[in-house]
Structure 1
Amino acid sequence: MTAVSANGKVTEKHENGAHTNGTTNGVVNGTTNGITNGATNGHTNGAATNGNGVAHHPQPVYYKPVANLETFELTLRKHFEDKTNQKFADYREFHRFTCDNYGIFWEDLLKISEVKLHQNYNQVINHNLKINERPRWFNGATLNYTENVIERGTASEIAVLNASIDESVVEYTFDNLRKDVYRTATSLRNYGIGPGDTVCGFVPNTYDTLVAVFATAAVGAAWCSASVDFGPAGVLDRFRQVHPKVMFTVNHVTYKKKLIDQTDKINEIVKELPTLEKIVVSDTFTSVKFDGSKYNQSEKFVSLEEFKTPIADVVLPFVYTPVPFSDPLFVMFSSGTTGIPKAMVHTVGGTLLKHIEEHLVQGDSKKHDRMFFYTTCGWMMYNWLVTMGKFKFHKLCDFRMISFLYSKGSVVLFDECPLAPDTHILMKIAAKTQCTMIGMGAKLYDEYLRLQIPFSMFLKLSFSKQYNHFSDTIYDLSRIHTVYSTGSPLKKECFAYINTYIAPGALIASISGGTDIIGCFVGGIKSLSITPGECQCLFLGMDIKSFNLMDEEITNSDEQGELVCVTPFPSMPSHFLNDSDGKKYRDAYFARLEPFWAHGDFVRVNHSTGGVEMLGRSDATLNRGGVRIGTAEIYSVVEKIPQVADCIVAGRLVEEGMDEEVLLFVKMVPGQELTHTIQAAIVSKLRNDMSPRHVPNKIYAVDDIPVLISKIHFSFQQKYVFQYTSSGKKVEVAVKQIVSGKAVQKASSIRNPESLDHFVQYKL
């Protein structure tokens, strides 16, 4: 197949896809890393300085909806206005309607998006059942997830772009994708895989993995995955629970431009999974070819290409396996910070419908959009990303063909290090592939802010004299209209940085939800303006409230509270594995505020804007004299102290049990010590920037901060290096339990479990 690259040139041919060369399409005047010739960009609140220290002031250009805006959300709003003969004054009124009439809302969305059902439903939902009773959705309906996602794009349209650290990009059309899915799914069927079975992947975020996911769902089986940076113990904590029959994996992975052999890991994993009948090994994106003799149970191993049925032997048209709406699609896992991860089962129809709402309605993806979201296969955002395809709409929609998941069927995949050895690699890929939507964990934006890199060509055009010396760091990101952030709260400073130095005027969609709902509670919408530091809105159909310490709804103030969902939604897990009496499920979501879903997030709802400020996990939230304080507020101040590399805060009850003592643990920059002067600076900043209640009772220096595994990132600040996960999630609950004198299991999901030992000396 031959494809056309971004600059209009025909790229070289590649088996099953077009491979672009290593040139810097979309990059303006070169590709060198860093800021050249000693010139500095002193970004502080939108300001910059040149090499001579002269101040210049490019200001952030925040998103505001244009006049006569046309979005699918507004079109859908008009549909319900016409249907119910009423007028919604704004987004918030429409949101309230979708929550009060959640059955009608989700049913009409299913119809309007033309989800293909093999058998129709006899009931949308039993409205007599509360959210804690877990009512089923669309009883009687059958469908196939993969069929709905990949069968709508025309054969020649680009579906997937697989990018590598050398900036090469392999393009795959919908025709390539469908044929590979048919071949892989046919082989799975030949091995007896179907409804009731689970296929697992110990895999990187590549095209081959995407095919495996779709092939698994095509035959009605469930999929679960772990990222290749997990150790064997972490993988086994997850895969043992699902009893997989087939596992997809890779023989080598590339990280920091180095090939890493996976053989020992794979052998250890396979040894402990006796239900495995076949291990399928991909060698597509490595120079080292498959060698089955390296594996201990070599008779079970097969290369991916050998496993796939030849296309000539595939029965066409391919027949998808229809399954009930509530059948398993994905098995997702909790972080497991205090024990074995809980295995959450997400349904075929619930996942599909929730992602339709998020990508089409909230995200407003259109025909030519292209999404690049940096994630691994161990993070929920991977499952959120792969739900891609094309959906036709009723005549009420002017767009006719609108994509599902970001970009009208085009997604960019990348699984290597985002910051080392090339701090610019994500923006190079975004420019080269002409992305219109990008996304990553909030901590990566924080790192870009720390590194002070002016990526956008907008700066070159608007401030040419000031930014001539930055020509080697500036890229054409002008097509980006939406920037996603998730994993942890996005700082106000990062809002300013993104809308100044990456994508001026772009919508910043700071989204928040979780693995538990395989989607979001809050996020972005194009019909509202941006308020830095806030998620713009509550998502449609998600009946979110904020409850205070008295378990009362906060309705007319900016008081901080617990995020609660009060009515059912389609993407609730159907159940947990190994939870026959449902106790784990109830304890996870309903023990705190039954019958309502308590998600474990601490928030502040801005009743003037309708936005939501995420303040951290409520189970790690601090309580000072009855006033709750989100840990993110403390981090936002302490992490600005130049001598502090990282920090974590924990509260513990004092002996009387009536109040919390707040302990702040800091990891110092190499060569720095926690002196009285630095402690005084931390106290002063917290008291002045936040409040006296934010000042910790004690500050301690520790060697490392425990964080969750998702992807190891390398961050460069001055002359030191430290590691982060893509989600940036610190293991606050485990630290809180340790300092409170409770025993904590060192979970395999913690990247550096030995770091927990540092906190034992501070227990009660």
Structure 2
Amino acid sequence: MKNINFNFRIPRLRCYSKINSISTTFFANSKITNFTFSNLKKAEMSSGIPLNPAELWRPKDISNTEMEKFRFVVNEKFNVNLENYHQLWKWSTDNISDFWATVWDYTNIIHSAPYEQVVDSKPMNEIPTWFSSAKLNFAQNLMWCRDKNKTAIISAGEGRPIKKISYHDLYDQVRSMAAAMRRAGVKKNDRISGYISNCPEAVIAMLASASIGAIWSSASPDFGISGVLDRFSQIRPKILFSTNSVIYNGKKIDILPKLKVIVENLEKESLEKVIVVPFNNSISFDLSSIPLATSWNDFLNNYSVVGSSSDEIDFEQLPFDHPLYILFSSGTTGKPKCLVHRAGGVLIQHKKEHIFHANMSSNDVFFYYTTTGWMMWNWLVSGLTTGCAIVLYDGSPFKPSSSILWELSDQIGIILSTGSPLKPESFNFVYDSIQKDVLLGSITGGTDLCSLFAGLNVTLPVYCGEIQAICLGMKIEAWDGEDKPVYAKPADLVCTKPFPCMPIYFYNDDHKNSKYMSAYFSNYSSVWYHGDYVWINPNTGGVVMLGRSDGTLNPGGVRFGSAEIYNIVENFSEIQDSLVVGQKVGDDERIVLFLKMNEGIKFNDDLVLRIRSKIRNQLSPRHVPSFILPIADIPHTVTGKKVEVAVKRIISGEKVAPSSSLVNPESLELYYNIPQLKSKI
């Protein structure tokens, strides 16, 4: 099941995965009325993307979904007659303040002080303030349930039995950790970091930090030393949480040697305490060589509140825009940028997505296969705000067998998900081989917003290869170099109206927010430029993700995304992985396709001819690569993204320093001095 990205919606289940896609913005009923049939056919032929994809699933009854209930509330409250989701979406983006105020009320956000204004009048590139004067606490909104008989966390993983934690016990453990952290000197705005596996202690530490008003940031233990230091050295944490070891792919991996080097570097800055979780008792837990280190239990015991009888957490009441998380960009072209996300923005956005779009409730089990180094971990943990049970899985999804996650689903009532862009063939696989009566949804968003631009929708059909809908309140369009939307044509993904989960700033940016402005407002000054390349289907409202804009292919002035090539190439059984990039040649560029062959398979001319023919017939002659070459390895980031931009720069004659975010940085050396690519650079 390589390269499958699942987001299932069936009773008692929520499973999600990341796919960068987006949905259309302009429906009155179901189709664009001013887009002619001839234009549609021309667009379909030029892009190779079907305008009438197969319908794979349709909801039977949507009347009792939260999305429909919300639509009725809006109709009654504002005296409008919105008949379907597309009209509701349009209203939500035309009436930003009314929409978000209604979400605030409908989702029961716990707060101690009311807001005075939903959003101010500042333009998008000046980073508007949201819900002014409101006071709330993010952690409090995730721990409203304290039922002893209701499961909050199901922890599972390679080499470990399933463990369940009730909402009552989760609250109690967060209370103890928060009290200990306060006594250790942690206060609001302090940075707390986790170099930690996907375990309950990670969630407990994050919630304890949020209850105080400290700012949480995390990295997965699969990050190398430089990758961790590139991130944490920029934010200077006061406390670092870690695990002593992990198990992955059947191997027990000792984390302490890496942790020692990391701590020795961080203690020169602001680090005061290192708290280590004994994740694997078969690995040494000798902390004597690690400065500032203590065990999880010793920290709780040493900083416990003697004689305290309070069963309540002291939730710090904070502004809506108070910092909650620092997330990091992939850093493929330099040190990762430190994106600071506001507590209220993450909260209201995740509530909207989980409650309305996923129809999630306290009866559900919610799983996403992720690590703590990916924003999907933060998204997963926010499922607690619905009262559901979240599943934390740590380890390989294929050990001890390739069916381990299926076995897990049998035991606790979930279905697996993995994380790479969902191709049309993968949609077909799910409906042909897994289950026909299932909502298979894909989502798009990212670290930049710690949430979604578009995703699943329980009230709409699923079409093969497409995202179902743009999320409510997100004014998404596709722009092609001009300040207006285009349809049925590859273009840049932009968001044209403010949204509450925009980062409030980049940590260590200058007073002009130069890095922030460069990241999102340098291409189009007045709207958010996300850096993705998309194709909007005016028939269905779906959108196909075509890759990153900075990796867009542009031979002879014809722009298209790398995903179009991958969707074809990766159906060849001989190929394990691939990478397609543009190489600059004078004022033009030519397409170069690199192939990593499966073990025991040799690269050959017949394969090249078949690939060229398939691309020409299914896409166009313009899509056919100038060169198709074998390569020993394909560079990926630790979150599984193909590193197109760095390779593009290398084969275009630049020297590129390997980023700490690459899982295999040595692979970049393979792309220098390739004889076939030396001509006419």
Q: For 1:473-622, what aligned pairs fall within 5 Å after superposition?
A: 488=421, 490-554=422-486, 557-580=487-510, 581-622=512-553
Range that drifts further, 531-540 or 153-162: 153-162
- State the Cα distance separating 1:81 from its structure 2 match: 0.8
Given candidates 391, 399, 405, the residue that maps to 1:420 is: 399
SS at match of 1:318: coil
Matched residue, 2:22:
none
1:591 and 1:105 map into 2 onto residues whose CA distance is: 29
TM-score of the pair, normalised by structure 2: 0.88
Matched residue, 2:638:
709
1:278 and 1:314 map into 2 onto residues whose CA distance is: 26
- State the Cα distance separating 1:145 from its structure 2 match: 0.7
- State the Cα distance separating 1:149 from its structure 2 match: 0.5
Q: For 1:438-453, what aligned pairs fall within 5 Å after superposition?
A: 438-442=416-420
1:303 equivalent to 2:316? Answer: no
1:288 and 1:759 map into 2 onto residues whose CA distance is: 39
- State the Cα distance separating 1:321 from its structure 2 match: 1.1
Residue 534 of structure 1 aligns to which amino acid in structure 2?
E
1:583 and 1:208 map into 2 onto residues whose CA distance is: 36
1:271 and 1:324 map into 2 onto residues whose CA distance is: 35
Q: Which whole-Å deviations, capped at 9, do the CAs of 1:387-414 have from their partners, x for residues lacking one?
A: 1334xxxxxxxxxxxx2xxxx3201111
1:233 equivalent to 2:162? Answer: no
1:662 equivalent to 2:571? Answer: no
1:271 equivalent to 2:264? Answer: yes
- State the Cα distance separating 1:625 from its structure 2 match: 2.8
1:373 equivalent to 2:339? Answer: no
Matched residue, 1:190:
183
Matched residue, 1:692:
621
Range that drifts further, 522-531 or 316-325: 316-325
- State the Cα distance separating 1:285 from its structure 2 match: 4.8
1:497 and 1:167 map into 2 onto residues whose CA distance is: 30
- State the Cα distance separating 1:440 from its structure 2 match: 2.6
Contact 1:511 1:535 in 2 (8 A): yes
Q: For 1:25-40, what aligned pairs fall within 5 Å after superposition?
A: none
Matched residue, 1:199:
192
RMSD: 1.8
Matched residue, 1:430:
409
Residue 517 of structure 1 aligns to which amino acid in structure 2?
L
Matched residue, 1:102:
96
Matched residue, 1:149:
142
Structure 2: segments with no counterpart, 5+ residues = 1-11, 13-53
- State the Cα distance separating 1:697 from its structure 2 match: 0.9
1:248 equivalent to 2:241? Answer: yes
Matched residue, 1:477:
none
Contact 1:153 1:409 in 2 (8 A): no
Residue 93 of structure 1 aligns to which amino acid in structure 2?
Q
Residue 404 of structure 2 aligns to which amino acid in structure 1?
I
SS at match of 2:235: coil
* Structure 1 residues 550 and 123: CA distance shift in structure 2, 3 A: closer
1:756 equivalent to 2:673? Answer: no
Matched residue, 1:134:
127
Matched residue, 1:742:
654
2:55 and 2:532 map into 1 onto residues whose CA distance is: 30
TM-score of the pair, normalised by structure 1: 0.79
Residue 308 of structure 1 aligns to which amino acid in structure 2?
L
Contact 1:282 1:290 in 2 (8 A): no
1:438 and 1:349 map into 2 onto residues whose CA distance is: 30
Range that drifts further, 640-649 or 71-80: 640-649
Contact 2:254 2:283 in 1 (8 A): no
* Structure 1 residues 532 and 553: CA distance shift in structure 2, 3 A: same
Range that drifts further, 562-571 or 688-697: 688-697
Contact 1:61 1:505 in 2 (8 A): no
Matched residue, 2:35:
none
2:417 and 2:353 map into 1 onto residues whose CA distance is: 14
Contact 2:62 2:68 in 1 (8 A): no
1:503 and 1:210 map into 2 onto residues whose CA distance is: 32
Given candidates 116, 121, 136, the residue that maps to 2:110 is: 116
Contact 1:562 1:602 in 2 (8 A): yes
Structure 1: segments with no counterpart, 5+ residues = 1-25, 27-59, 391-402, 443-487, 711-724
**Runs (4+) of structure 1 moved beyond 6 Å?**
none
1:292 equivalent to 2:287? Answer: yes
- State the Cα distance separating 1:289 from its structure 2 match: 6.4
1:153 and 1:81 map into 2 onto residues whose CA distance is: 34
- State the Cα distance separating 1:601 from its structure 2 match: 0.9
Matched residue, 1:342:
337
Range that drifts further, 410-419 or 279-288: 279-288
1:504 and 1:630 map into 2 onto residues whose CA distance is: 30
Given candidates 354, 373, 383, the residue that maps to 1:388 is: 383
SS at match of 2:274: strand
- State the Cα distance separating 1:68 from its structure 2 match: 5.3
2:359 and 2:308 map into 1 onto residues whose CA distance is: 40
1:166 and 1:318 map into 2 onto residues whose CA distance is: 34
Contact 2:568 2:615 in 1 (8 A): yes
1:640 equivalent to 2:571? Answer: yes
* Structure 1 residues 672 and 388: CA distance shift in structure 2, 3 A: closer
Q: Which whole-Å deviations, capped at 9, do the CAs of 1:479-529 have from their partners, x for residues lacking one?
A: xxxxxxxxx2x1111111112323321111100111000011111101110
- State the Cα distance separating 1:103 from its structure 2 match: 1.2
Range that drifts further, 243-252 or 676-685: 676-685
Higher relative contact order (CA 8 A, sep 6+): 2
Q: Which whole-Å deviations, capped at 9, do the CAs of 1:123-143 have from their partners, x for residues lacking one?
A: 2111x3221111010111121
Give % identity: 37
SS at match of 1:699: strand
Matched residue, 2:38:
none
- Count of equivalent residues: 618
1:574 and 1:68 map into 2 onto residues whose CA distance is: 36
- State the Cα distance separating 1:87 from its structure 2 match: 1.1
2:634 and 2:527 map into 1 onto residues whose CA distance is: 33
1:744 and 1:522 map into 2 onto residues whose CA distance is: 33
- State the Cα distance separating 1:182 from its structure 2 match: 0.5
- State the Cα distance separating 1:677 from its structure 2 match: 1.6
1:68 and 1:537 map into 2 onto residues whose CA distance is: 15
Matched residue, 1:354:
349
1:552 and 1:258 map into 2 onto residues whose CA distance is: 53
